[in-house]
Structure 1
Amino acid sequence: MLPIHFLNTRGENKGIPLTLYSIGWEHQVYMNRPVGFPVNQVFLTKKGTGVFRIFGLGELELKAGHVLVLPAGVAHEYFPLTKSPWQLGFIGFEGNSVNPILENIGLKQPKVMTVKSFSSLWSYVEKLWQIAKKNENDAVMNASVSLYSFLLELRKLEETNSESHINSAEHSPHENIRKIVNLLHEHYDEPLEMTSLSSLAGFTPQHFTRIFRKMYGLTPYQYLNKIRFEKAIFLLKEEPEWHVHEIAERLGMETNYFIRAFKKKYGVTPGVYRGK
């Protein structure tokens, strides 16, 4: 089931309370969304195990048969937890009535759910995918009806899940490191000294870097730059009127350094990247 971005161009979605944005499933790899996703999403694990890290809140583990509802604009990252493939399905959706609908059925906050019949719920995903793939004249309306039915079915099939809460960092042996990661995501546009961060975490700079790399696969400085460049990509796409120096300033970076570093990472300057 290949991912499909269902971006309708017929203008038929005006006034429709729910509209499909994207749908599909894949063997999920590491993904970082420092500014969240533009629409609401539902994730469904068919096989394997993965972790969603919700910045500022904590972590949620998704095993086979688990479903996660993630509101739009929530900063997060996610990655497989085991060597075996993490088969993750997803549905992205928006609309004028999304927020009240999700609130009325109790799905407004990040939440992991187990369901009584995962196969029954997955059949709705397959139906939606077929509608999006064919993209016929009445696809937007049909997708809206099926999407609403899917959300109601999800609420109906929900079971109590003792693991649905976000794991508190206070019970983690690396609580302070996780707090530093949240700080990086919240203050990436400010001058952050690694020595100050290591002191804040209660470690020497060397020990801080060693533990951080073990947990996240990057040094703290590399992780900070990763956040900044992903934010840069977002701004280059979403803010076409912004000059490069404005984006650099928004990231807390000097303009010439930003341009050089961007070109080193992506092979082109920010201006050329935007043009493509």
Structure 2
Amino acid sequence: MIKNENTFTYSSHETLILPHGLKTMPKVKSLFPFKKNTGILHKCINENLINVEFYTQSHVIIYNIAGIETITSYDCKSIEIKEKDLLFLPKDNYLISDFIKNNKQLEAYMFFLDEDIIETFLSKQKKVRHSPKNKEIFYKMPSNLTIDEYIKTLKNTSKTMQHSSDFLEIKILELLYLIDNTDTHKRLQDFLSYNNTYKDKRNIISLMKRYYLNNFSIQDFATLSGRSLSSFHRDFKTIYHTTPHQFLVNLKMQHANKVLKEENKTISEIASNLGYENISHFIKAYKNKYNITPKQKQKNHL
């Protein structure tokens, strides 16, 4: 299962859920009360963060004030955001963030948009929207003087209206209109419209092989692949003639077998790293595949 943990100690087995996983973290402040998954966060990070894995539960617009952050997608596409860049991230995506301090802190505002506020914005637009041929996982654009001024006043505004969720919606809609007003190609509208309606059906096997150590549930993999849970099960069984659960177990047992042969780890450590809370369940799964117990396997390679 994707974990909803608030911690600066990251590993390949921890995934931060955005936005709520950020809200109680040090150096991250909510400017207004959140309304569902809509809100504005200000972050100011003073330490290196490497391979920070996160999952977006709502659409995100990031305005970068200082520092350079690199965002990498599930298929290894990367984008770098610098001072006064705007980055647009769609919901339901697994991404990785990297930041090297280099004498500068990482400071940014993060605007989280749920479906309701996106529909409010899109419903007032006259442009006939279409689905782009190639969906963008993310894209960025430079800021402008009007948006820069909006950002400068945002912090002071939040101090006087910090308890108003209604004012939160006004400020987010204001940002969307400011961006859209200078966006001659209406890229923002297409991006929000597409990502609020469609999901690409990504390659199931490549996702599971890439992330099987992240302790994701089958529901998590279905979401990442752009499918409903029932569609994910159906497509998987049709194409690969097995269940997602069994395929995932096989991947984990293959990894366990390699670790037992090559690394000096306890059985409980291996089981825990593979997401097994009950060690007996791990032992049973391993024995079902290899006809010996993990302990016997270890003894054979001493």
Normalized against structure 1, the TM-score is what? 0.49
Normalized against structure 2, the TM-score is what? 0.45
Bigger Rg, structure 1 or 2: 2
